[in-house]
Amino acid sequence: MNEISQAFGVAGAMILGFDSKLIEIVLLSVSVSLVAVVIASIIGLPLGAAMAVGRFPGRQALIVVLNALMGLPPVVVGLVVYLLLSRAGPLGQYGILFTPSAMVVAQTILIVPIVAALSRQVIEDAWQEYREQLRSLGAGSVTSALTLLWDARFSLVTIVLAGFGRAAAEVGAVMIVGGNIDGVTRVMTTAIALETSKGDLPLALGLGMVLLALILMLNAAAFWVKEAAQRRFG
Amino acid sequence: MLPLVLDAISFRAGGKAIIDRVSVEISTGPRTVILGPNGAGKSVLMRLCHGLFEPTSGTIVWQGSNGGHRRQAMVFQRPVMLRRSALANVIYGMRLAGITSRERELRARDVLEAVGLLHLSGRPARMLSGGEQQRVALARAWALNPEVLFLDEPTANLDPGASRDIENIIAQIHASGTKIIMTTHNLGQARRLADEILFLHQGRLVERAAVEPFFRQPESAEAASFIRDEIP
């Protein structure tokens, strides 16, 4: 018990003292997940809108698959990306395995289904309401999809933040494709896993607290954005 | 683009004929009100005319010279406001119609002024009252300068004051040269706004008459019963 409370004390001191090791890991974590969520949004939001508005063969199957992929196990994504990026793999020539780029790839794959499937739901609800009016005004499918993306923007912010949270919190994929290399690919989650197994509790705990705080802040931001927008725009 | 000619159109859904072999020619000029009880198929008929639904059988033809499809607009029972300002809502419709951006701005302000909402043009449209939202919807349609304006029960969700505002605006739009085709189940409104009545009953066009003779002496038993049942 004493050891744990001592660890909490050291962890708190590391956070408040901006421990350089801790800061480095947090910054890498945030930037990898940020890039991943930006790419995933660029792919996932239009995909979600297209599935909401478009009527094409295989649409329902695609919706089911994307919904299922929301629960994609990170280690499986890690394994697949590892195979693709390894020297012998089809994308081995780029040599990005065990770099932050590989982690971005893995996290992007992990959260594209989340962004696409959730935004599909939100946009399809709006589409039910808007459909006749937009068609009456002469909007085609693409225009309708863009209009709905813009009109649902506040709900979509929440979805994107959820994607970021998932990316920042997962450990399996980045562990496999990043390799948890000190100073290169060590992010919060992989560091926590390593330090815990080494018995270095203060750093693990400190990172854990930062991670928790980050997730909490994201959810608060998501809630606040939605709430404020609702009040402002209805 | 008028006259609009419907030739024996039917619309079936779930094995039931919502619209049953309706033939009618609607020409330019008088305000046409499609009257009938709930479930008569008024809204469906209007959506067929506007092109939102395809008839199961029969043909719908705009016979006029410029036959263009886009010189028509529609206002729905429940106004659909985009999550942006009232002004931006009006501009949005004009942008889709390909009107130049300079003209859009000027015209949007004009129509918002005409519906009495210029002072609220910067407000988020969804935060306006129901009556104000319907006025924005009318402005959005009017800004397109349509040859034909379809209105589907435009005051059904509104209180009497807001309904009167809407009726006044419809009269203005008519006066500006736009053909009005409107559905209602409200007899008082039909009397006030219609020049001619199309009476619809169970998907069939039962009677067509000028408004005055229609209310004085309806020819069909269904219309007579519908008028008689009015609560004073």
Which A positions 72-111 lie with beta carbon below 8 A of chain B?
none
Ramachandran assignment for A18, one of left (phi > 0), alpha (psi -120 to 50 degrees), beta (any other): left
Alpha-carbon distance B20 to B208, whole Å?
Answer: 16
Chain B contact present for A125, CB below 8 A: no
Chain A contact present for B123, CB below 8 A: no
Question: B47 vs A132: CB contact, 8 Å cut-off?
Answer: yes
Contact B223, B206 (CB under 8 A): yes
Each residue's pLDDT tens digit, B194-207: 999 999 999 999 99
The alpha-helical segments, DSSP class H, found in chain A are: 2-16, 20-53, 59-69, 74-85, 100-136, 141-151, 153-169, 172-178, 188-198, 201-233
ipTM of the complex: 0.93
Alpha-carbon distance B216 to B224, whole Å?
Answer: 10
Q: Which residues of B204-214 are buried (b: 16+ CB within 10 A; e: fewer)?
A: bbbbebebeeb
Question: A132 vs B80: CB contact, 8 Å cut-off?
Answer: yes
Average pLDDT rounded to a whole number, residues B35-60:
95
Chain A contact present for B52, CB below 8 A: yes
DSSP class of residue A92? G
Residues of chain A with pLDDT under 50: none
Of the candidates B72, B99, B104, B84, the one whose C-alpha atom is nearest the C-alpha of residue A148 is: B84
Question: B93 vs A151: CB contact, 8 Å cut-off?
Answer: no
Size of interface A-B (CB pairs under 8 A): 48
pLDDT at A95: 92
Question: B80 vs A133: CB contact, 8 Å cut-off?
Answer: yes
pLDDT at B231: 66
Chain A contact present for B93, CB below 8 A: yes
pLDDT at B230: 73
pLDDT at B2: 86
Chain B contact present for A129, CB below 8 A: yes
Predicted confidence (pLDDT) at residue B39 exceeds the cutoff of 60 = yes
Q: Which two tokens stand for residue B172?
A: 């203005």
Residue to test with chain A: of B48, B83, B90, B133, most A Cβ within 10 A: B83
Chain A contact present for B127, CB below 8 A: yes
How far B215 CA sits from the closest chain A CA (Å)? 33
Question: Could you tell me the CA-to-CA distances from B171 to A88, B152, B214 in Å, in that order?
Answer: 75, 15, 20
Q: Is the peptide bond before B3 cis (omega within 30 degrees of 0)?
A: yes
Question: B96 vs A130: CB contact, 8 Å cut-off?
Answer: no
Each residue's pLDDT tens digit, B124-180: 999 999 999 999 999 999 999 999 999 999 999 999 999 999 999 999 999 999 999
